Amino acid sequence: MNKKPIEIFIEKIQYSADNIESLKIILSKKRNKNDDLSKITIKLIKIKDSYFLSFVYNYKTNDQTKNYPIKDGIKLINEHLNNDFYNADLFTTDEIVQLFTNKNNNSLIKTSEQIFKPVVNLNHDNVKKQRIAINNNQYLQELGITTKDFKIKKDMHDKFRQINKYLEIFESIVDTEKYKEKLKIVDMGSGKGYLTFALYDFLKNSLNLQVEITGIEYREDLVLKSNQLSEKINFNDLNFIQGSIIETKIEDFDILVALHACDTATDEAIFKGINSNAQIIMVAPCCQKQIRKQLNVQNEMASITKHGILKEQQSVILTDGMRALILEAYGYKTKVFEFISTEHTPKNLMIVGTKHNNSINRKELFNKLKAIKNLFGIDFHHLEKLLDIKY
């Protein structure tokens, strides 16, 4: 069935919000002549690290501005087009799309090439930066993120946003200048390789670095597919090894990443990173079950952890907090922050440890670890066991 012009218009907004630098929409020709609202102008803006659609409502006597997360904003535009306005214009960096609807609700869409780039400021000087190309990008297509004509698939917008966020974080944390000669990275639990391929592409093709990335993954089928793909597209220094994080022998690398490696697999990755003296250890943990099973609170905190959901959340905080503390005890300056908002995935935390040469009081840090374990009745943390920490 053919798509309705409004549906095409909305899809173009969604595509633009995900893929291009700027975007402006004007909703005009109000359906109800008596309505006070005459026009809405919408722009893509960046606030802190997130993108929003900023709506300026033009009323007869004043203007009002409201910002919405992209998903909500697009839903709202759809509602306004069906209920409040006949016409809409979309200005992207490449094209101008005009939607006309008549009183019988018949619409048509007209597209023309953008001659003048729209002047849209994404919050002062923060312009959205595209770190990997989408057009003619074979791995994004083969991994099912883009369609045959290189458009982000409807259900892949969140994944694509996560990839971009990951590259943005990576760029902000790693001083890539330092690794101009050769940068060696291992990606533990690389899965289908979305983030591994994108990182390789970004470092090699956008930043022109000499980079070597090795993905380590249990699943043989995924490793086979990933190796076939990297060979096909000539990503010559991107390889995947089938094996477990703990048993695979790989020692000489600068950066270790482990994204969403389940439960204690994250501890195994951190352990390998510490043991190999990795300069940067970057993990996004998930399914923190090990501590939850052990939590045995016998003090005032029990009145909080008696609630299942709070016990769950407390276990996640403790699991990741102790990981960060252990990294500090092994000479890493540690940051814990949100990877990507819960809007996209519930797995939203990232721990980054950067090796430093300053002196550390390991005993004091171990004592803190011990005190936390006592407070929550925790027998052991898996990472602590792997490192054979003695008090």
Ligand X SMILES: C[S@@+](CC[C@H](N)C(=O)[O-])C[C@H]1O[C@@H](n2cnc3c(N)ncnc32)[C@H](O)[C@@H]1O
Segment contacting ligand X by CB under 6 A, of 184-192, 315-323, 365-373, 383-391: 184-192
53 versus 195: smaller Cβ distance to ligand X: 195
Segment contacting ligand X by CB under 6 A, of 20-28, 30-38, 103-111, 211-219: 211-219
Q: Please, which of residues 254-313 interact with ligand X by CB under 6 A?
A: 259-262, 265, 268
Asked if 349 is part of the footprint of ligand X (rule: CB under 6 A), the reply reads no
For 114-232, strand residue ranges (E) read 183-188, 211-217
User: What is the nearest approach in angstroms of ligand X to the Cβ of residue 225?
Assistant: 12
Q: Helix (H, G, I), strand (E, B), or coil: what is residue 152? A: strand
Backbone region of residue 91 per phi and psi (left: phi > 0; alpha: psi in -120 to 50; beta: other values): beta
CA angle 373, 379, 383 (to 5 degrees): 80
Segment contacting ligand X by CB under 6 A, of 52-60, 190-198, 228-236, 273-281: 190-198
- Residue 236's Cα: distance from chain center in Å? 26
3-state SS of the chain: helix, strand, coil percent to 5? 35, 25, 35
342 versus 359: smaller Cβ distance to ligand X: 342
Nearest to 150 by CA among 160, 133, 131, 135: 135
Please give the Cα distance from 53 to 65 (Å, whole number).
Answer: 10
User: What is the nearest approach in angstroms of ligand X to the Cβ of residue 287?
Assistant: 8
30 versus 161: smaller Cβ distance to ligand X: 161
With CB atoms as reference, the residue minimizing the distance to ligand X is 191
* Binds ligand X by CB under 6 A, chosen from 195, 255, 281, 369: 195
Residue 116 has phi, psi (to 5 degrees) of -100, 125
The letter for the amino acid at 167 is L
Write down the residue that tokens 């407070």 correspond to: 375
201 versus 268: smaller Cβ distance to ligand X: 268
Asked if 219 is part of the footprint of ligand X (rule: CB under 6 A), the reply reads yes
Asked if 105 is part of the footprint of ligand X (rule: CB under 6 A), the reply reads no
Asked if 244 is part of the footprint of ligand X (rule: CB under 6 A), the reply reads yes
Angle between helices 70-83 and 5-19 (to 10 degrees): 160
Q: Helix (H, G, I), strand (E, B), or coil: what is residue 294? A: helix
CB 190 within 8 A of CB 260: no
* Binds ligand X by CB under 6 A, chosen from 57, 68, 86, 218: 218
69 versus 243: smaller Cβ distance to ligand X: 243
- Residue 254's Cα: distance from chain center in Å? 22
User: What is the nearest approach in angstroms of ligand X to the Cβ of residue 245?
Assistant: 4
* Binds ligand X by CB under 6 A, chosen from 52, 194, 200, 339: 194
28 versus 239: smaller Cβ distance to ligand X: 239
Please give the Cα distance from 348 to 165 (Å, whole number).
Answer: 11
User: What is the nearest approach in angstroms of ligand X to the Cβ of residue 137?
Assistant: 17
The letter for the amino acid at 152 is I
User: What is the nearest approach in angstroms of ligand X to the Cβ of residue 339?
Assistant: 10
Which structure tokens are listed for 40?
């809405």
Q: Helix (H, G, I), strand (E, B), or coil: what is residue 95? A: strand
Size of the site for ligand X (CB under 6 A): 17
* Binds ligand X by CB under 6 A, chosen from 245, 291, 329, 340: 245
245 versus 349: smaller Cβ distance to ligand X: 245
Asked if 73 is part of the footprint of ligand X (rule: CB under 6 A), the reply reads no
User: Interface with ligand X by CB under 6 A: which residues?
Assistant: 189-191, 194-195, 216-219, 244-245, 259-262, 265, 268
